[in-house]
Structures are given as structure tokens and as C-alpha cells.
């Protein structure tokens, strides 16, 4: 199977970390990027009132995102990476441990599954140079 990316979608229950603190959630994702070998492009976090955080790390290889419900000790975790340089499962294990999840449900989905003809077409792709000609 020829897949362009790996997408882990997980439910973390029984979390003991401070899931209502956007710094804690964002820093956890940043460290997950580091241990997995991802390249951070940008980051954002938002604290909802009265509870909950959304944090997203955009990486060169796609993204890591978390949405939390601290009142339930729950985090929805979304880790999507492309290519072969990032270890998505290392990021997953880091976030699971950092959040102190006691029960986890995770699904792995290959993304961008290509047929043989699509692979062949991509291998023969020549990008167009749209830069203006030198004067």
C-alpha cells in the first residue's frame, strides 16, 4: 500500500495533567514533536471558558492537535504526519504519558492511499518554474 501519511486519532481518558492550561497542552505537543523528529512551523493554543483547551502545532510534516475537556479528564488527540522522517507513534506515546491517560482508544488511518498509476504519474511529475525570467 502506498500511503502519503499516517493519521492517529485517539481518545485519552482519565488524564491527570492540567488539561485546562493551554501552556501545558501546547508544551506537551511541542515536546512530542521533538521526540518524534517533527519540524515545527507554528503553534497556537486557546483556553475556553470555563473549561477546555484547543492546541495545534503545524509541522512541516502536517499537524498535531488536541482538544480537551478537563472536567472529564478527557483529551481528543489528532496526530497526522506525512513522509517517513517522523515517528508518529513516538509522539503518541509521549502525549499519552505526559497527559497521564489511564484509558486510551486509538485508530490509525493511512492517508492518501495511491494506486500504482497515481504513483507512476507522481514519479514523472515535473514542477513548472513560474519565476519571472531574469531581465
Q: What is the pLDDT of residues 49-106, one digit of tens each?
A: 999 999 999 999 999 999 999 999 999 999 999 988 999 999 999 999 999 999 999 9
Q: Which of 22-26, 29-33, 82-86, 129-133 has the lowest mean pLDDT?
A: 129-133
Share of the chain above pLDDT 90, in %: 78
Judge whether 47 lies within some domain. Answer: yes
Q: Rounded distance, CA 78 to CA 59, Å?
A: 13
Q: Give the domain range for residue 36.
A: 17-51+69-89
Judge whether 28 lies within some domain. Answer: yes
Q: Is the pLDDT of residue 133 over 70?
A: no
Per-residue pLDDT, 117: 86
End-to-end CA distance of the chain: 47
Quote the pTM value: 0.86
Q: Rounded distance, CA 14 to CA 50, Å?
A: 19
Q: Is the pLDDT of residue 1 over 60?
A: no
Domains identified in the chain, total number: 1
Enumerate the active-site residues: 62, 67, 82
Judge whether 61 lies within some domain. Answer: no
Amino acid at each position: 500500500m502506498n500511503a502519503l501519511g499516517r493519521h492517529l486519532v485517539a481518545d485519552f481518558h482519565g488524564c491527570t495533567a492540567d488539561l485546562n492550561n493551554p501552556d501545558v497542552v501546547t508544551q506537551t505537543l511541542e515536546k512530542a514533536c521533538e521526540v518524534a523528529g517533527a519540524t515545527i512551523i507554528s503553534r497556537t493554543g486557546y483556553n475556553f471558558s470555563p473549561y477546555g483547551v484547543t492546541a495545534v502545532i503545524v509541522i512541516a510534516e502536517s499537524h498535531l492537535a488536541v482538544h480537551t475537556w478537563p472536567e472529564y479528564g478527557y483529551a481528543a488527540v489528532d496526530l497526522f504526519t506525512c513522509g517517513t522522517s517522523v515517528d508518529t507513534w513516538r509522539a503518541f506515546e509521549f502525549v499519552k504519558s505526559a497527559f497521564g491517560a489511564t484509558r486510551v482508544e486509538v485508530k490509525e488511518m493511512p492517508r492518501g492511499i495511491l494506486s500504482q498509476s497515481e504513483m507512476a504519474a507522481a514519479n514523472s511529475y515535473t514542477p513548472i518554474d513560474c519565476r519571472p525570467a531574469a531581465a
